[in-house]
């Protein structure tokens, strides 16, 4: 890539990231979020907002926003480059009880080991998923955080089992053929010289299906795709992990758009 073109690309990404930072950092009382513009494309990367057991902030101050906005910016660029999906250049965020989630084919939520769903959020999220929505769960680790996640998810689906995603499932090959033997580690784990956090030693891919066998909830346990996207430009973060995280994310997008 020519130096001038490369510089322009970096500047464009930086400008987009700055705009997204200001979008959320100016107001954390929900006003800005309520007035965000509608997506201009077929697909929009949309984060689910929820109250966390760590903090009661509705937006990026919550621990669930640690990798924002770089993670979103980098992943959106990747989807745009690697697929023909008409993806919006902006990332968005909606509360689970917001009726606008029904306009989005994809929701992304992380640090769900401490989420505190209200009955209204659980009910709206359940209706969204049963109508064809798709939820990606990411960046939570170990048995304690699993317990917190499962407690919230049981409010959404009291009777639907959480099951292992079999290696031959379509979502593992819909665009990229992916194995399930590589743990995508976050920056905290790698900083400590390991790939796991807490007692989450092994990566797990789990899901929840609807009555027709469609995968509604894709659960990445003991992994951190968001950090791998966020740190794509950092020389110290393993390129192999970033590439793998992109492939999983792209498969999830394509599955959500075709099912």
Q: Are 88 and 247 in contact (CB under 8 A)?
A: no
pLDDT digits (tens, 9 = 90+) for 88-107: 999 999 999 999 999 999 99
pLDDT at 20 over 90: no
Q: What's the average model confidence in pLDDT over 15-41?
A: 54
CA distance 63 to 51: 10
| pLDDT at residue 2 in the model | 41
At 154, the pLDDT band (50, 70, 90 cuts) reads very high
Domains of the chain plus CATH, in order, are 3-258 (3.40.50.12140)
Q: 215-221 and 135-138: which strand pairing?
A: parallel
Q: What is the CA radius of gyration of the chain?
A: 17
- Alpha-carbon distance values, 31 to 24, 34, 91, 171 (Å): 10, 5, 17, 37
Give every CB contact of residue 221 below 8 A, 6+ residues apart in sequence: 137, 140, 141, 146, 200, 203, 204, 205, 206
| pLDDT at residue 11 in the model | 38
């Amino acid at each position: 890539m020519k130096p001038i073109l490369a510089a322009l690309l970096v500047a464009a990404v930086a400008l987009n990231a700055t705009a997204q930072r200001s979008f959320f950092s100016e107001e954390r009382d929900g006003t800005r979020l309520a007035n965000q513009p509608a997506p201009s494309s077929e697909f929009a990367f949309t984060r689910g907002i929820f109250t966390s057991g760590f903090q009661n902030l509705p937006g990026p101050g919550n621990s669930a926003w640690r990798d924002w906005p770089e993670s979103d910016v980098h992943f959106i660029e990747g989807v745009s480059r690697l697929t023909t999906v008409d993806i919006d250049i902006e990332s968005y965020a909606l509360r689970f009880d917001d009726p606008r989630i029904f306009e989005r084919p994809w929701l992304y939520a992380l640090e769900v080991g401490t989420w505190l769903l209200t009955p209204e959020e659980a009910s709206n999220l359940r209706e969204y998923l049963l109508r064809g929505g798709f939820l990606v769960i990411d960046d939570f680790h170990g048995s304690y955080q699993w317990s917190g996640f499962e407690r919230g998810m049981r409010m959404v689906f009291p009777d639907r089992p959480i099951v292992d995603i079999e290696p031959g499932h379509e979502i593992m090959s819909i665009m990229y053929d992916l194995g399930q033997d590589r743990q995508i580690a976050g920056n905290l784990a790698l900083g400590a010289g390991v790939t796991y956090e807490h007692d989450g030693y092994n990566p797990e891919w789990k899901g929840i299906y609807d009555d027709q066998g469609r995968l509604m909830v894709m659960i990445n346990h003991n992994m951190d795709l968001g950090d791998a996207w966020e740190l794509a430009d950092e020389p110290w973060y393993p390129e192999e992990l970033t590439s793998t995280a992109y492939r999983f994310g792209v498969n999830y997008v394509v599955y959500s758009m075709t099912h």
